[in-house]
Amino acid sequence: MPEPHWQKSSYSGGPEGNCLYAAPTPDGMIRLRESDTPHVTLATAPEGLAALLRHLKSPS
């Protein structure tokens, strides 16, 4: 599999310098990694990530 094209989240880059990166893969998944542990990646389907983001944005 070719090296993913990582894109930094627009919400990243605060004073701590911690950044979240995302990359689509040819199999339709989305890979996620953090700048402080770039060798550790998570994979999710776009629908799963969208559901998580909706939940996080919803009022508590």
Beta bridge pairs of residue 44: 30
Residue ranges covered by each domain of the chain:
7-57
| pLDDT tens digits, 41-57 | 999 999 999 999 899 89
Tokens of 8: 């930094």
pLDDT at 25: 93
| pLDDT tens digits, 8-52 | 988 777 666 678 999 999 999 999 999 889 899 999 999 999 999
Query: Mind giving me the DSSP string for the chain?
Result: -PPP--EE-TT---TT---EEEEE-TTS-EEEEETTEEEEEEEE-HHHHHHHHHHHHS--
pTM over 0.85: no
Tokens of 45: 């389907």
* pLDDT above 90 as % of the chain: 58
